Amino acid sequence: MIWTLGIVALLALGGWLAFQYAVARNGPAVIDTIDRLAGTERKVALVERAVIGDAPAQKLAVYRSQETEGTLPVILFVHGGSWRAGDPDDYGFVARALAPEGFVVVLAGYRLHPDALYPDMLEDTAGAIAWTKANIARHGGDPAHIVLAGHSAGAYNVVMTALDRQWLGREGLGSGDIAGVIGLAGPYDFYPFDSDSTKASFGEAPRPEETQPITYARADAPPLLLMTGEQDTTVKPRNTRALAQAVGAEGGPVATRFYPETDHSDILLALASPWRHNRRVLDPVVEFARDPDAFIRTSVPVQGETR
């Protein structure tokens, strides 16, 4: 009996180590597979793939629930990966989490290091927004209600694109074309650059302060929902607090959500099955995306600590 229990324990340990190894190599793809296997049938369909540039990473995919009708608000989600990794094809779990809540979901990619440097990721994010604005109506999406969302580097992309007017402006768009922005564990105030990834993607910028979202805090920003885990050691929570305080000080619309026992990956994992049965992350994302202005009006003030 003891030997049997020992063998079971070793097999369980081996399975866990294999899981950890797979997550380290491509966490989102593993999460997506688990979501497919563990989730109940969500009846979410991939309705279009599109390319928005010559590079393979310049692509997007559109998803919609097969059980919804009529014109729906849109969520455009941009993946993380330190601006050097990631593929929207690995984030189907985000679409399966959000589309059944009554959204058309666009998963957008962007050029990655070493093939791309700042500001390529912002040009591509703005391009994805412009494509969505021009094309989403044919899939029942409302081009007047586009909410941007992203995790980690993707949160930087969407927040920076929304705050620094030039990127949307180059596409003939403006802040009024964005209903709101959701940042999950995003870096918004990370100069001077002190990590390999930030040095690689931003180190050659001639005016590095201009690469920072906090530089563009303004009263007329689109509504922002900034969410992070207090145990995040990859992108420290001070990024969220600093940007929220800067936007709030200008009189801009911003709300925050902090999760005490959550790290950098956990906040994304909360959107996948079986973890999303606890809707602590999903519910505020959905509520905000449906009506960003109402969400901001009813939110508690931004926390003051900036650690």
Please tell me the predicted confidence (pLDDT) of residue 307.
47
CATH code of the domain in which 221 resides: 3.40.50.1820
Is 12 a domain residue? no
Q: What is the mean pLDDT of each run of 10 residues along the chain (307 residues)?
A: 44 48 69 88 91 98 94 98 98 97 98 98 98 98 98 98 98 97 98 97 98 98 98 98 98 98 97 95 98 94 51
Is 249 a domain residue? yes
Is 86 a domain residue? yes
Residue-wise burial string across 103-129, b where 16 or more C-beta atoms lie within 10 A, e elsewhere: bbbbbbbbbbbeebbbbbbbbbbbbbb
* The total number of structural domains that make up the chain: 1
Q: Say how many CA atoms lie within 13 Å of 270 toward its Cβ.
A: 22
Is 305 a domain residue? no
Please tell me the predicted confidence (pLDDT) of residue 185.
98
**Alpha-carbon radius of gyration of the chain:** 19
Is 101 a domain residue? yes
Is 16 a domain residue? no
DSSP letter string over the chain? Answer: -HHHHHHHHHHHHHHHHHHHHHHHHHHHHHHHHHHHHHSPP--EEEEEEEE-SSSTT-EEEEEEETT--S-EEEEEEE--STTT---GGG-HHHHHHHGGGT-EEEEE----TTT--TTHHHHHHHHHHHHHHHHGGGGTEEEEEEEEEEETHHHHHHHHHHHSHHHHHTTT--GGG--EEEEES-----PSP-SHHHHHHHTT-SSGGGG-GGGG--TTPPPEEEEEETT-SSS-THHHHHHHHHHHHTT--EEEEEETT--TTHHHHTTSTTGGGSTTTHHHHHHHHH-HHHHHHTSPPPP----
For the question of whether the overall pTM of this predicted structure is more than 0.85, the answer is: yes
Please tell me the predicted confidence (pLDDT) of residue 6.
41
Which residue segment(s) compose the domain that 160 sits in?
27-297
Is 6 a domain residue? no
Four-CA torsion 295, 296, 300, 305, nearest 10 degrees: 130
Is 10 a domain residue? no
Please tell me the predicted confidence (pLDDT) of residue 25.
53
Please tell me the predicted confidence (pLDDT) of residue 225.
98
